[in-house]
Amino acid sequence: MKKTTLLIAGALAATLAAFAPAHASGTEKPPRVSWSFAGPFGTFDRAQLQRGFKVYREVCSSCHAMSRVAFRNLAEPGGPGFSEAQIKALAAEYKIKDGPNDQGEMFERPGRPADRFPAPFPNENAARAANGGAYPPDFSVLAKARTYERGFPWFLFDIVTQYQEQGPDYIHALLTGYADPPQGFPLQPGQSYNKYMAGNAIAMPKPLSDGQVEYPKGPDGKPAAPETVDQYAKDVTAFMMWAAEPHLEARKAMGFKVILFLIVFAGLLYFTKKKIWARVHDEAHA
Amino acid sequence: MSGHSTYVPKSPVMKWFESRLPLFGLIHSSFVAYPTPRNLNYLWTFGGILSFMLVAQIVTGIVLVMHYTPHATMAFSSVEHIMRDVNYGWLLRYLHANGASMFFIAVYIHMFRGMYYGSYKAPREVLWILGVIIFLLMMATAFMGYVLPWGQMSFWGATVITNLFSALPIVGEPIVTWLWGGYSVDNPTLNRFFSLHYLLPFMIAGVVALHVWALHVVGQNNPTGVDIKNPAKDAVPFTPYATVKDAFGLVCFLVVFAWFVFYVPNYLGHADNYTEANPAVTPAHIVPEWYFLPFYAILRAIPNKLMGVIAMFSSIAVLVFLPWLDTSKVRSAVYRPLFKQFFWVFVAVCVGLGYLGAMPPEGGYVIAARVLTAYYFIHFLVILPLLGLFETPRPVPASIADAVLAKHGGGAAAAVAMGAASAPSKK
């Protein structure tokens, strides 16, 4: 009986698989990157977040806003770990529009830690006008707003393996996925070819190149991390993941305690239940 | 079922209160002395789990509302404010969002359990129909709740689903305009969905009270499908037996819940919903939440829009008639060898429809969805009525106690006793 059911279920699965059309798009699956924040005990690498912030500041922020992140966030636990003094100095470098003042006029003042990152463009239309019609998305939650299709059966395994880094993997792949277009590939003016972009045509020009951002030097005088496109992409992606989920570390740390508590509690309840029900089972044997 | 309350108040204050409002007597007879079949398996703990989830959703929801702003220009930002700036806001929101999914996982297990053990059959028809009403209210609540973060999938999901009503002839378009409060999904839509999303859970709580009341009138079904005949032998008091078992089941369920909340909180959501709603940009694939996927697959399987809408609503409405569509006198699938196989095929078909609901409606996927949609209805309208007529069920034990003895005692004596007792006990 069980066999028949299995057979029918198997036949059904096979039918579904046979019906599934092959994906005929030219986009590649992003390669997996080993992120420090993946897995049940994942934490951000402070040095990496600081490097990623440097990349964001020197490269990305000329087009991409990060309006939901405040300067103070950079000093909060679970983040890049800047000191309060560093944040004060950093915020003061930005000009923040404030007002109206007593005269009813808007004015500019140096930033304070409580301010959020000012956007590079006053509005979406201005951003589009400066970027050939394309709108550079805000970085605040972008790492959670991007993903790629995992497909059957991988999407099921992802629950158990806790693979939640589709967004970061995609962004890292996109940043490193610029290539020469194949012969005859139609590109509009201002577009670039990217292996991982849906449709392979991307409006953002290749943003990173080797040696573009200077990394802090170690004691031996060499950069603390390689100044390569791949490393820049990893660092800025890790920073974006933190920006999108600033409480990730607190969440995972609490999760471990909660689940441990629940498992112990379940164990105690199991033995209590066994003891209480033993009376009933004894009666059954009587 | 439980008879007159056996609750005896001890203190004079309680005696005074009890003679004016026998509230504690009601609680005592419903959750302490209530006789529960002794052979219930862990699938029966999902009733308690669902009650817990309803309360958990209401509590987390009420706190979230203290920080949320239901306005088209501020909703998305207020959710991000909750995630970033509210103390443990990320925990509240992930509990609430994943709690909805856990609620549906539990309700689907609860419903399939009812189907497997024939819990909808006489005298539990009203109990079952109340359950279907709760399920419908849950679906409406969950759908409106998913609109509130005002992400891309919120907006476009709301647009697609409300647009379904436009398939109705003549009244369709006015109904859609009325639902939206305008000529597209916009701030008025968000406001009314927020209002209803706050209201409906309390309606669910009301129907749950009726559901539990009906349950306590007719008594619980059990894996044998045989009624309690001798409470002393067949049943155990709800407390401590069912209470401790439900508590254990609930805590195990919470481990799974916690896994999603703390480790894969966005697994069951959709990445597009982290992009703020934009009426000018349509997402490549508009996909509802996973718990709606089988019904979404049925909707898209039918080429005609109106017929698709009718098929989708019928696929839920047919559940109301299940007690009469199943013609078999035997409740439990344990004693129905053919039904048992068809049950598992039906489960596989539902899972298959769920998979197809997530796939783009093209090529082979559409054909597969049509085949499975047809089977879904054939199961209820053809297979179940005919099975009751043609299937030969295996002998049903005389009583719950006999079934337990046969299983645990394993002795020949018990089996003989069971065989001897089974003949006269047939009603």
| Type of residue found at B252 | C
List the one residue out of B252, B227, B247, B248 whose CA is nearest residue B39: B227
Q: Residue A95 pairs with which residues in a beta bridge?
A: A110
Confidence of residue B409 (pLDDT cuts 50, 70, 90): low
Count the Cβ atoms, other than its own, within 10 Å of residue B242.
23
Containing B243, the helix (H) or strand (E) segment is: helix B243-263
Task: Report the distance separating Cα B112 and Cα B43, nearest Å.
Answer: 10
For the segment A242-249, the average pLDDT, to the nearest whole number, is 98
pLDDT over threshold 50, residue B424:
no
- Chain A, chain B: beta-carbon pairs less than 8 Å apart: 141
pLDDT of amino acid B414: 42
Q: Total domain count for chain B? A: 1
User: A247 vs B284: CB contact, 8 Å cut-off?
Assistant: no
Determine the distance in angstroms separating the CA of A183 from the nearest CA of chain B, rounded to an integer: 27
Instruction: Give tens-digit pLDDT for A78-133.
Output: 999 999 999 999 999 999 999 999 999 999 999 999 999 999 999 999 999 999 99
Q: For residues B359 and A18, is the Cβ–Cβ distance under 8 A?
A: no
Q: In 3-state terms, what secondary structure has residue B235?
A: strand
Residues 6+ apart with CB under 8 A from A184: none
pLDDT over threshold 50, residue B426:
no
Query: Which of A1, A3, A4, A16 has the most B C-beta neighbours within 10 Å, making it the best mutation to test the interface with B?
Result: A16
pLDDT over threshold 80, residue A177:
yes
Q: In 3-state terms, what secondary structure has residue A98?
A: strand
**HSE, side-chain direction, 13 A CA sphere, residue B406:** 17
Report the first-to-last Cα separation within chain A, whole angstroms.
34
| Type of residue found at B307 | M
Name the residue with tokens 């004596």: B413
Written as six digits, the tokens of B211 are: 């559901």
| Type of residue found at A222 | K
Q: In 3-state terms, what secondary structure has residue A62?
A: helix
Which residues of chain B make contact with A134, given a CB cutoff of 8 A? none
List the one residue out of B63, B52, B49, B95 whose CA is nearest residue A258: B95
Q: What is the DSSP string of B314-376?
A: HHHHGGGGHHHH---S---GGG-HHHHHHHHHHHHHHHHHHHHHHS-S-HHHHHHHHHHHHHH
Q: What is the DSSP string of A175-231?
A: HH-B-PPPTT----TT-EEBSSSTTSEESS-----TT-SPPPB-TTSSBSS--SHHH
Instruction: Give tens-digit pLDDT for A271-281.
Output: 999 999 998 87
* B23 contact A CB<8A: no
Which of A277-281, B75-79, B316-320 is predicted least confidently? A277-281
pLDDT over threshold 70, residue B152:
yes
User: B264 vs A263: CB contact, 8 Å cut-off?
Assistant: no
* B352 contact A CB<8A: yes
Task: Report the distance separating Cα B236 and Cα A278, nearest Å.
Answer: 12
CATH number of the CATH domain containing B138: 1.20.810.10
Which of A125-129, B329-333, B348-352, B401-405 is predicted least confidently? B401-405
Which residues of chain B make contact with A150, given a CB cutoff of 8 A? none
Residues 6+ apart with CB under 8 A from B82: B64, B67, B68, B89, B90, B92, B93
User: B244 vs A272: CB contact, 8 Å cut-off?
Assistant: yes
Name the residue with tokens 């080429």: B303
pLDDT over threshold 50, residue B420:
no
Q: Residue A223 pairs with which residues in a beta bridge?
A: A217
ipTM of the complex: 0.91
* B240 contact A CB<8A: yes
Which residues of chain A make contact with B36, given a CB cutoff of 8 A? none
B355 within some domain: no
Q: Determine whether B82 is exposed, middle or buried from the number of CB atoms within 10 Å of its CB (0-12, 13-18, 19+).
A: buried
User: A252 vs B263: CB contact, 8 Å cut-off?
Assistant: yes
Q: Determine whether A109 is exposed, middle or buried from the number of CB atoms within 10 Å of its CB (0-12, 13-18, 19+).
A: middle
Q: For residues B158 and B185, is the Cβ–Cβ distance under 8 A?
A: yes
Containing A31, the helix (H) or strand (E) segment is: none
B426 within some domain: no
User: B262 vs A259: CB contact, 8 Å cut-off?
Assistant: yes
Longest alpha-carbon distance in chain A: 93
Task: Report the distance separating Cα B246 and Cα A276, nearest Å.
Answer: 13
Q: For residues A185 and A200, is the Cβ–Cβ distance under 8 A?
A: yes
Query: Which of A1, A66, A141, A274 has the most B C-beta neighbours within 10 Å, making it the best mutation to test the interface with B?
Result: A141
B336 within some domain: no
pLDDT of amino acid B413: 43
Task: Report the distance separating Cα B50 and Cα B109, nearest Å.
Answer: 10
Name the residue with tokens 């950069």: A223
Containing B422, the helix (H) or strand (E) segment is: helix B412-425
B115 within some domain: yes
Q: For residues B117 and B128, is the Cβ–Cβ distance under 8 A?
A: no
pLDDT of amino acid B171: 95
Task: Report the distance separating Cα A100 and Cα A266, nearest Å.
Answer: 59
Determine the distance in angstroms separating the CA of A223 from the nearest CA of chain B, rounded to an integer: 33
pLDDT of amino acid A21: 42
Residues 6+ apart with CB under 8 A from B361: B300, B369
pLDDT over threshold 60, residue A2:
no
pLDDT over threshold 60, residue B26:
yes
Helix axes A46-58, A229-244, angle to 10 degrees: 100
Residues 6+ apart with CB under 8 A from B367: A19
Q: In 3-state terms, what secondary structure has residue A97?
A: strand
B136 within some domain: yes
Length reported for chain A: 286
Sign of the Cα torsion B407, B412, B413, B418 reads positive
Task: Report the distance separating Cα B289 and Cα B276, nearest Å.
Answer: 17
Report the first-to-last Cα separation within chain B, whole angstroms.
19
Q: For residues A239 and A74, is the Cβ–Cβ distance under 8 A?
A: no
If you ran DSSP here, which 8-state letter would residue A70 be given?
Answer: B
pLDDT over threshold 70, residue A159:
yes
Whole-number average pLDDT of chain B: 93
Q: In 3-state terms, what secondary structure has residue A107?
A: strand
Range of B54's domain? 25-217+236-286
pTM of the model: 0.92
Q: For residues B364 and A15, is the Cβ–Cβ distance under 8 A?
A: no
Query: Which of B74, B80, B84, B87 has the most A C-beta neighbours within 10 Å, making it the best mutation to test the interface with A?
Result: B84
pLDDT over threshold 90, residue A26:
no
B414 within some domain: no
Rg of chain B over all Cα atoms, to the nearest angstrom: 24
pLDDT over threshold 50, residue A19:
no
**HSE, side-chain direction, 13 A CA sphere, residue B160:** 18
B385 within some domain: no
What is the tally of helices (H) and strands (E) in chain B?
A: 19, 2
pLDDT over threshold 80, residue B46:
yes
pLDDT over threshold 80, residue B410:
no
Name the residue with tokens 């103070």: A72
Q: In 3-state terms, what secondary structure has residue A99?
A: coil
Containing A96, the helix (H) or strand (E) segment is: strand A95-98
B9 within some domain: no
